[in-house]
Structures are given as C-alpha cells and as structure tokens.
Amino acid sequence: MTEDQTTDKTAEPASAAAPKSFLDVRDLRIHFPTDDGLVKSVDGLSFQLERGRTLGIVGESGSGKSVTSLGLLGLHNRRNARVSGEIWLDGQEVVGSSPEQVRRLRGRKMAMIFQDPLSSMHPLYTVGAQIIEAYRIHNDVSKEVARKHAIDMLGRVGIPQPDKRVDDYPHQFSGGMRQRAMIAMALSCDPELLIADEPTTALDVTVQAQILDLIRDLQDEFNSAVIMITHDLGVVAELSDDILVMYGGRCVEYGSAEDIFHRPEHPYTWGLLGSMPRLDRDRSERLIPIKGSPPSLINVPAGCAFSPRCAYSELNEGRSETERPELREVAPGHRVACHLGREDRRRIWNEEIRPKL
Amino acid sequence: MTTPDSEVVADQRPAGDGDALLEVRGLRKHFPVTRGALVKRQVGAVKAVDGVDFAVRPGETLGLVGESGCGKTTTGRMITRLLEPSDGQIVFEGQDITHVSQGRMRPLRRDLQMIFQDPYSSLNPRKTVGSIIGAPFRLQGIETENGVKRAVQDLLEVVGLNPEHYNRYPHEFSGGQRQRIGIARTLALRPKLIVADEPVSALDVSIQAQVVNLLEDLQEEFNLTYIVIAHDLSVVRHISDRVGVMYLGKLVEMSDATNLYDSPMHPYTVALLSAVPIPDPAKRKGRERVRLQGDVPSPLNPPPACRFHTRCWKAQEICGKVEPPLVEVVPGHRVACHFPENAPEGAGEKVTKAAEQADLA
C-alpha cells in the first residue's frame, strides 16, 4: 500500500517546490491499521527547522511524538504503516524515497539518539565495533582510520580512556556512559539533523545535566539541527529554541520557548504547566492536574481531541465537540489550535492560570 | 474489623508514646557477591545500605531522594521487611521488627504497607480488580460489615475509580488508573505507615499530578504517614515535610523540606539541586550549575571515609580519611560533611569533632 503512495509522490516532486527550510515537514500522517481500527498516531503534522536550531516536541505517552521521529528517519515498518505527507530534508523528499535512498540519508544526514541505550546497542559487539560499522558504511575508509575516528568520538563525548574503552561491550558501561557512546555513534558521521527521543529519561539528574550540556556543546560545534522529544518540560526549557506541543497525534500549540512558557494559549499547555511541581517557585499547596487521561489514538474524540479533558470547552457553544480547531497563527511564530477566542485565552491565562503556577 | 490475631499483637505493643512511629538505627544491607559453582565463596559485598538512621513521626511525610544505586529502594524494602536487614534495627511503634519472622510479621502488615513503582508489574494480570483489592481482607481474615465486595467498592470510590470496575482486569486500565488500584489495595487495611517507592515516576505528567493530589488527600483523610522514595526532586519537595538525601548507601543530609531546598548544606545536595532542569527558558542563561564529573562509584567498593569526596569540589585531605557522621548543625537540619555549604560558622568543625569522638568511642 505504501508502494502506490510512493509512486504518487515521486511523480510530483517538482510541484511541491523546493522548501527554504533545512527540514520541512508538511502534513505528515502516520496511520497503523489494526484489528481494532485505524490508529492515527500522527495526523497532519507540519513544522520547519533550521540548522543550528533546536525544536522540542512535548507530549504525553501516546501523543505520537516518538512515531513522528521514527517517521522522519523512515524507521517505521513499511508493511503496516501508512505514511503520507512530505518530509523535506535539505531539499530531498524522504517519504517518497526508496528504502535504499533513506538508508543512505540515515546516519549521514540524520541520526537518532534512542531512549534506552542498553536495548538499542548490540550486546554481542563492542562499543567500538558498532561505531566503526556506522562510520564505514558512509565513509570509504580503512578499519584503522575508522577505529581512530571511533576513539576520537568517544573522547569527544567525555568517555575517560577512550582508547581502552573502545573495546568494551555495552554492558561494561554505566547508563550515562552508554548514552554517551550512543551519542558518539549518532554523531560519528556529522549528521545535520539529530533526533533525540527521550535521551535522558532513563538517567539520573546529575547525569542528565551532563548529557544535556553535551548535546548543547556538540550542537554548537557541528551546527546541526536538533529535535528533542521528551515529556519533561524542564528538559525542553533548557535546550529548545522552539517548542511543539502534541496531543492526540496533532500539534496543539507551536511557538518559541518564551511563548510556550510565558504566554501559552492552549488549555493543554496550561494543564501541563500546572501539573508540574517546580523547584524555581515557592512550594504550591496543590498541583492543578488535567482531569481524565490521554485519549486512545483509535478513538480520538470528535472535534477538539482535548475537549473531554478541557475545563473551558463549554465556552465554545458546542464547537469543541463537533469541529476540529485548526492550527492558527496568533502572533508571529506562535500557532495555537483552540476554539477559544484570543481575548478569552489571554484573560484565562493571565487571571486564572498564571497566578496559580 | 478485629480478629483474634490482631488482639494478640495489640497486647504486645506498648502504648504509643507518640514520639516516632518508625525508627531506623544503623540499618545496613550488604548483598554478598559469590564466586564458584559448587563451593560458593563470598568475594565481596554490595553495600547497598550502609548505616542509615532516621525516625518518622506520625502524620508526616518523609521523602528519600538520591540517584539510582544510592540504596533508597533497599531501605524502603527493609522497612516493609521485604528484605532482611544485615545489621541495625527497625523499630515500629516501639516494637523491634528487624528480624521478626514472616508469621509474626503478618499481623503487622496491616499497619505497614507499600505502594510499588510499576503499576504494570505490581498487579496480577489474571485477577480481577475486585480480587486484587480484596486480597488483603482475605489474607488477614478480616470480616467487613457489608462483605468484602462492598468494602472494595468503597475503596475504589475513595481512590477516584468507578465502583463498577470491580469485575474488570488490570489490562483494561491506563497506567494512572492502575496506580490508583495499587493505592486502593494498599489502603484496604487502613495502614498507619505507607512506604511509597517511586509512586508516580511511571506516569505521565498530567496523571502524576492527579496521583500526587490523591496521596495528599488520603493522608489528610486517613491520617497516614508516608515514606516517599523518589528520584524526582521537585515531586519530593512538593509532597514531603522532611527530606533525606542518600548517596551510596548513606544518608548525607536530612532536614525539613523548605530548609533543604532553600539552603542545602551537603555539596552533593547542592549538585543534585542545581542539576534539575528548570522549566523556564528565561532562567537558562546566567544559571550557575555545579557539574559533577563522572559516575557514582560502585557500591561494591565505595570510596573510604566520606563517600562523596571523589567527586566533591570542596574535598580536602580529611575527607578521604575521616568519615563525617550525620550531625545536627542547625536545629532540625542534619548533615554529614566536613565543609558544609550554607551553614553557620563552625558547622564543619562540629561534624569533624563528632567524627573524632565517634572514633575514640
């Protein structure tokens, strides 16, 4: 089934006009047909990203953020995933490309840091061998040169005695070191797009701080574009230039980090901010949770997917339940998908939400 | 509610002096490391918990924080006697329960319960919610006024679930709902002390807040005492009255939550707090962060004396030689460091002197 779409897309690349941005995702949809129904993991996602910038994608489990990253890399199972839309990476369209073409992009142009480094590294090969393999696939160099490069990379990500540790197996590394090795592998071919899917979730705070600093330093050095996928708003605030908030497979709010944290306009973003105990504020008496739980992606609520959990849905004269709000630009670079009027949103944020945070 | 069993136990207990509900003294857990297939020799020990002292007062929430491998979970499991302590003493309501047998422990389980971290593996997938939450009543042989079913349905309501969920199986629930089922089971026998091991870390942010609020409401309603074990420092600050910080099997600092977060004394606590990402992009710049180098050393072979001295930026010669004991340097604020931060004049000397005295004794 993807075959048909593939031919469709390759037939009309010229019409889509070469995008100006380094990464341009247009109306990306990734659906999985299952026995229970169609799972719409990603349902119409569009964003752009430039080199040297960091985009944070935030959302709860099941919001489609990880599927998005797999889709960008072409790592979804082609037999059961239905992918449509366009992904332009540096002028090349990825969705319509053949698996062989995507493979050549992967590793060289784009690379990924996975959440769990223990299960994403091969336990029977040394760390060095895995980095060397990745490097030699994309570069025609001898084993010796590749090994030197691997040692160099391990040293760059802060692994002590890299010339010795290069021959260790993943289980001989601690969690933080494995994540560093993972980053070394991802960066071995100087990718221009780095996707980090919950890169620090399995790590302790002090190690997390080290890894975040490392990603930031490496980004400065390589001028790569970074997509940071996480559920932790603190991590996003530390690293991101722009933030995309996902809910039920769609983007509900997009804006600069300042917009999202200081002038958020979507009730879901308010909910996320209110749910979180914060160290930088006085201790609040009570957290303000979002009621209910995230929707199943098979039965996404009609209208606004957030409406059953939204405290303000009744202000919209029933439109929340029937009509899906489109993502609209409310200020330069700040887009929100909500039926509430602009004045209402601003008033609620300033009068009801912000004082309680 | 009473059974013959519980009366016996009640007799053994001295009248509660109201001072401390639980007291832990010099608690240790060493897991032996053995080698050899037929004849096993002990070649070392993982010192998961190595001498921990604290007390929990009735009605308060004590938070235990630290990185993975610091021994916080092992401490929790020893308190609930899921693990046998190697050394030390656990006193619950004036009764020494350190090495009480399983059979004698059973009646005490009523007062001492645990909430587990993973809501997916802590519920039996083949049992209905009704039988999971009803199990404590059956095991303890407790008769309830209107039958177990009614009691379970009341509990479901207390934790914010629908009583009609009685006959459903755990897989039909989301993570947050499962954690509520676990909490309902824990609450079934109206325990006095609940040890909650990472109660919200497996949940989504919006659900975390629901469960944290629920735990607070239940504490108020049933006058519960909590020991909350967590690695998330902001959750611990929110929920706890007092907080203990652990590093490599030892308590390095203990204080009421406000003091600990506002003026941390132990360099490790300072580093830990400064590593927490702050959800405010405006504060990204100009934030001074203490960067700790390297990883936590192995508990198999922890550094001598102060265990943090290998990573500490304030460490001096004495730190590798004399172990600093946990000393109260300000009323209600105990710290184990020769050179504490944010401390009044002479606090470090106080710790060093205490160490010397302990040495002489």
State how beta strands B225-229 and B193-197 pair.
parallel
The answer to whether B235 contacts chain A (CB < 8 Å) is yes
Do A89 and A19 form a contact (C-beta atoms < 8 A)? no
The confidence score (pLDDT) of residue B6 equals: 42
Angle at A158 between CA A153 and CA A162, to 5 degrees: 60
* Residue A6, number of CB atoms within 10 A of its CB: 17
Which residues 289-348 on chain B approach chain A with CB closer than 8 angstroms?
289, 291-292, 294-296
Task: Give the residue with greater pLDDT, B73 vs B69.
Answer: B73
The confidence score (pLDDT) of residue B280 equals: 87
Q: Which residues from chain B sit within 8 angstroms of residue A230, using beta carbons?
A: none
User: What distance in Å separates the CA atoms of residue A101 and residue A105, rounded to the nearest whole number?
Assistant: 7
**Cβ contact A278–B207 (<8 Å):** no
The CA distances from residue B291 to A202, A208, B275, B294, in Å, are 19, 11, 8, 10
**Residue B320 Cα, gap to closest chain A Cα (Å):** 22
The confidence score (pLDDT) of residue B307 equals: 93
Do A334 and A258 form a contact (C-beta atoms < 8 A)? no
Q: Which residues from chain A sit within 8 angstroms of residue B175, using beta carbons?
A: 61
The confidence score (pLDDT) of residue A18 equals: 64
The confidence score (pLDDT) of residue B9 equals: 39
The CA distances from residue B54 to A22, A136, B29, B62, B122, in Å, are 57, 56, 16, 10, 28
Strand positions, DSSP E, chain A: 23-34, 37-49, 54-58, 82-89, 92-93, 110-113, 193-197, 225-230, 242-247, 250-256, 328-331, 334-336
Confidence of residue B73 (pLDDT cuts 50, 70, 90): very high
Q: Strand pairing partners for B44?
A: B33
Interface A–B counts its CB contacts (< 8 A) at 132
Strand positions, DSSP E, B155-293: 193-197, 225-229, 242-247, 250-256
Q: Is residue A336 part of a domain?
A: yes
The confidence score (pLDDT) of residue B11 equals: 37
**Cβ contact B68–A175 (<8 Å):** yes
Length of chain B: 361
Mean pLDDT over each residue of chain B, to the nearest integer: 88
pLDDT digit string, tens, across residues B275-294: 998 888 888 776 778 888 77
The answer to whether B172 contacts chain A (CB < 8 Å) is no
The CA distances from residue B286 to A6, A220, A230, B216, B315, in Å, are 49, 18, 24, 35, 26
State how beta strands B333-335 and B250-256 pair.
antiparallel
pLDDT digit string, tens, across residues B180-203: 999 999 999 999 999 999 998 888
HSE of A26 in the Cβ direction (CA atoms, 13 Å)? 17
User: What distance in Å separates the CA atoms of residue A339 and residue A333, rounded to the nearest whole number?
Assistant: 19
Q: Is residue A70 part of a domain?
A: no
User: What distance in Å separates the CA atoms of residue A26 and residue A23, rounded to the nearest whole number?
Assistant: 10
The confidence score (pLDDT) of residue B12 equals: 38
Closest-CA residue of chain B to A200:
B277
Strand positions, DSSP E, A68-191: 82-89, 92-93, 110-113
Domain tally, chain A? 1
Do A202 and A116 form a contact (C-beta atoms < 8 A)? yes
* Residue A273, number of CB atoms within 10 A of its CB: 21
**Cβ contact B206–A275 (<8 Å):** yes
| Predicted confidence (pLDDT) at residue B238 exceeds the cutoff of 80 | yes
The answer to whether B276 contacts chain A (CB < 8 Å) is yes
Report the candidate in B69, B300, B295, B313 with the shortest Cα–Cα distance to residue A159.
B295
The answer to whether B207 contacts chain A (CB < 8 Å) is yes
Q: Which residues contact B138 (CB under 8 A, 6 or more apart)?
A: B148
CA dihedral A15→A20→A23→A29, nearest 10 degrees, is: -40
> Domains, chain B, ranges and CATH?
19-36+50-240 (3.40.50.300), 246-277+287-360 (no CATH)
| Predicted confidence (pLDDT) at residue B15 exceeds the cutoff of 60 | no
The confidence score (pLDDT) of residue B250 equals: 94
| Predicted confidence (pLDDT) at residue B134 exceeds the cutoff of 90 | yes
Please list the ranges in chain A whose pLDDT falls under 70: 1-18
Q: Mutate one of A58, A177, A205 to test the B interface: name it (highest B CB count within 10 A).
A: A205
Q: Which residues from chain B sit within 8 angstroms of residue A288, using beta carbons?
A: 209
Q: Is residue A304 part of a domain?
A: yes
The answer to whether B181 contacts chain A (CB < 8 Å) is no
* Residue A75, number of CB atoms within 10 A of its CB: 15
| DSSP secondary structure string for all residues of B276-316 | SPPS-GGGSTT----PPPS-PPPTTSPPSSSTTTTT-TT--
Q: Is residue A41 part of a domain?
A: no
**Residue A332 Cα, gap to closest chain B Cα (Å):** 18
| Predicted confidence (pLDDT) at residue B42 exceeds the cutoff of 90 | no
User: What distance in Å separates the CA atoms of residue A49 and residue A26, rounded to the nearest whole number?
Assistant: 12
Question: What would the two tokens of residue B334 be?
Answer: 């105990």
**Residue B12 Cα, gap to closest chain A Cα (Å):** 39
Q: Which residues from chain B sit within 8 angstroms of residue A177, using beta carbons?
A: 295
DSSP annotation of A68 reads H
Q: Is residue A320 part of a domain?
A: yes
Strand, coil or helix: what is A104? helix
Q: Which residues from chain A sit within 8 angstroms of residue B234, using beta carbons?
A: 276-279
User: What distance in Å separates the CA atoms of residue B76 and residue B326, rounded to the nearest whole number?
Assistant: 20
Of B212, B281, B291, the CB nearest to A257: B281
Of B68, B205, B284, the CB nearest to A275: B205
Closest-CA residue of chain A to B215:
A286
Give me the mean pLDDT over the B37-46 stretch: 85
Question: What would the two tokens of residue A161 be?
Answer: 């005695």
pTM: 0.86
The pLDDT > 70 percentage for chain B reads: 95
**Residue A27 Cα, gap to closest chain B Cα (Å):** 27
Q: What is the CA radius of gyration of chain A?
A: 21
pLDDT digit string, tens, across residues B116-125: 988 888 999 9
The answer to whether B160 contacts chain A (CB < 8 Å) is no
Look up the domain containing A321 and give its range: 262-356
The confidence score (pLDDT) of residue A17 equals: 63
Buried b or exposed e, range B147-166, using 16+ CB within 10 angstroms? ebeebbbebbebbbbeeebb
Q: Is residue A266 part of a domain?
A: yes
Helix axes B175-187, B205-222, angle to 10 degrees: 20
Do A250 and A297 form a contact (C-beta atoms < 8 A)? no
The confidence score (pLDDT) of residue A16 equals: 53
